[in-house]
Amino acid sequence: MPFGAHLTVNASDRYYGSPEYIAPLYEQPHLVNTIRLTNNRAVWKALSIGEQEQRRANNSDQRGANAVYGEKYKLSEAEQWELPPDEEDTFGVALSNGRRVLVQVQAWDNMMIRTKRGMNMKDKPFRLVSVRLMDAQTKEPIFKRRMWLGVWGQRYWRINPRRNILGLSPAL
């Protein structure tokens, strides 16, 4: 694998957004997977350590594993979320046909997908990125649906999404 010393960013389509693909590659230190997500997917906000401890304290019989999944969010219902983005930016671009549009980028950190088919996802948080094209004059969305991206890996970090939409860290 070429992930030994240099940053490798793997851009994948929605078919690769499964735990079977993400889980084995997550621990590669220099690999970042950027995967387009389907609009009908659900994601969960990861619980903080304090929230995990509070849930454990509220568990009267003290059985079971610590909870890691918080509130559930359906990507198709993003307009109804009460979860503000961790980062947000809007900037203008010109399309190849000359049309001026605004690009709205929103990012949420520490999101989770559920463990499935034996692939543990409880310790693999990711950055959820929403991208929308807006008409520059009316500020209305050009497309009905947003484009959703999930960014998994050890080397993504939080910076201004306009400068670096995926939050990739610089080379070490």
Per-residue pLDDT tens over the stretch 50-61: 888 888 888 777
* Residue 3 backbone zone (phi > 0: left; psi -120 to 50: alpha; other: beta): alpha
Write down the pTM of the prediction.
0.82
pLDDT, tens only, 97-123: 999 999 999 999 999 998 888 888 888
Task: Write down the domain spans for the chain.
Answer: 8-153
Strand extents, DSSP E, the chain: 8-12, 31-37, 42-46, 69-74, 87-94, 100-112, 126-135, 147-153
Displacement of CA 90 from its chain's centroid (Å): 18
Amino acid at 64: G
∠ CA 128-132-137, rounded to 5°: 150
